[in-house]
Amino acid sequence: MFKNLLGSWYLKKKISNGFLGEGLVSLKSKKLNNFHYEEKSFIHKKSTENPISGYQKFDIVENKNFIKFYFLLGDKKNKIYQKFNNSFKENLVSWYFCKKDTYKTYLRVINNNLFKIDHLITGPNKRILIQNTYFRSCKNN
C-alpha cells in the first residue's frame, strides 16, 4: 500500500475541539516494505492566528499481514504506535493505549492521490476526533 504513496503530501487537520491544522508530509522508502513518515504541521484554534507547530516521525513496516507504525521520537522511540491488520484493506483500524487514553485509528486510502488517517482519542472526560486528510503535493519527489 505505502509503496504507492511515496512522495510529498499536503496535510489538512480538523480537530473536534475547535482546532484546525495544515502541514507537509514526506513518505520515503527506506528499503523493501519499510517506509519513513515525517510530518511538519501547524495547528491553531479557529478564532486565533497564533499557530502551534507540530513535528512527527514514524517508521512504517508493511507485510501481507500487518502495517505497523513505530515511534521515532520521544521516550517511546522504536515502540509500536499502531498495528493494522493488512487483510482488511478497505477497513484498516488499530488501537493504541496511553495511560488512561485510547487512540482508535482509522487508515483509508482513497486512491494514489488521497488518503486519510483519523484518530478517535477517548479517556476520562475526553473525546477528541482528529481527522487528517492527505492530498498529493504538486512538488512530488
> Which residue's entry shows cell 477497513?
91
CB 60 within 8 A of CB 69: yes
pTM, entire model: 0.86
Question: In this predicted model, which residue has the larger pLDDT, 65 or 90?
Answer: 65
The pLDDT score that the predictor gives to residue 52 is: 86
Residue 76 lies in a domain: yes
Query: Does residue 120 belong to any structural domain of this protein?
Result: yes
Q: Which domain holds residue 18?
A: 2-136
What is residue 140's predicted lDDT score, i.e. its pLDDT?
47
Mean pLDDT of all residues in 54-78: 90
pLDDT at 48 over 80: no
Q: Which residues, including other chains, have CB under 8 Å from residue 98's CB and lie 6 or more apart?
A: none
Q: What average pLDDT score do residues 60-73 get?
A: 90
- Per the structure block, which three cell numbers stand in for 107? 487508515
Place of cell 504541521: 41
Beta bridge partners of 26: 8, 38
Please check whether residue 141 lies inside any domain of the structure: no
Number of domains in the chain: 1
Q: Report whether pLDDT(86) > 70.
A: yes
Average pLDDT score, the chain: 88
Give the three cell numbers for residue 103. 487512540
Question: 3-state class of 98 per DSSP?
Answer: strand
